[in-house]
């Protein structure tokens, strides 16, 4: 990986950047899996400025990956079960034109290192059961732990919970 990549922790001043990256990645990620109505609804619930501020206040840590000083993706994580030393990868998205260059793996490894330093033994993530990203996670050492159906407003997220021991 060239030195033109930087991963840094996001702050409240990065909220517009996170919103722009999410807007550019959601449609390509979910367009073939979810209806436009569901994508629009969920996007509004998760990626409004207020929602992102609340996620930060509730303890989600956001990381931004930059390529040649331009933000091209982000991830977030938080504690899921402190007593079980389980953390959760809440989000990881890269601009479509930057996928396949190893940046997703770099960003995922950065999350794994940070949560390990915070005491995590396990990192969980949710992936839609029809999302081809499941293969990426499997190549990075994650395995399906169980299935989960999560109501979001009038819609459902039909996910696998994948898990990796760190």
CATH of the domain at 55: 3.40.630.30
Given a contact cutoff of 8 angstroms between Cβ atoms, the answer to whether 21 and 73 are in contact is yes
How many angstroms separate the CA atoms of 14 and 97, rounded?
21
Q: At 4, is the pLDDT very low, low, confident or very high (cuts 50, 70, 90)?
A: confident
For residue 165, list its beta bridge partners. 122
The domain total for the chain is 1
- 122-164, pLDDT tens digit by residue? 999 999 999 999 999 999 999 999 999 999 999 999 999 999 9
Could you list the residue range(s) of the whole structural domain that residue 53 is in? 5-165
Q: Above 90 in pLDDT, residue 1?
A: no
Give the tens place of pLDDT for each residue, 9-51: 999 999 999 999 999 999 999 999 999 999 999 999 999 999 9
Mean pLDDT, to the nearest integer, of 52-67?
Answer: 97
Distance CA 17, CA 165 (A): 31
Look up the pTM and report it: 0.94
The dihedral sign for the CA sequence 106, 31, 80, 63: positive
Phi, psi (degrees; rounded to nearest 5) at 154: -85, 5
């Amino acid at each position: 990986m060239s030195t033109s990549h930087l991963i840094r922790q996001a702050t409240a001043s990065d909220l517009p950047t996170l919103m722009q990256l999410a807007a550019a990645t959601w449609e390509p990620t979910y367009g073939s899996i979810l209806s436009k109505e569901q994508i629009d609804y969920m996007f509004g619930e998760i990626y409004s400025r207020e929602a992102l501020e609340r996620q930060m206040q509730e303890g989600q840590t956001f990381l931004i990956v930059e390529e040649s000083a331009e933000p091209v993706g982000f991830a977030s994580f938080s504690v899921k079960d402190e007593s079980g030393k389980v953390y959760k990868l809440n989000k990881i998205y890269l601009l479509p034109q930057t996928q396949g260059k190893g940046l997703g793996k770099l960003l995922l490894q950065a999350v794994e290192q940070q949560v390990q330093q915070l005491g995590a033994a396990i990192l969980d993530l949710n992936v839609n059961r029809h999302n081809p990203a499941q293969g990426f996670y499997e190549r990075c050492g994650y395995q399906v732990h169980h299935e989960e159906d999560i109501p979001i407003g009038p819609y459902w997220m039909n996910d696998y919970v994948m898990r990796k021991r760190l």
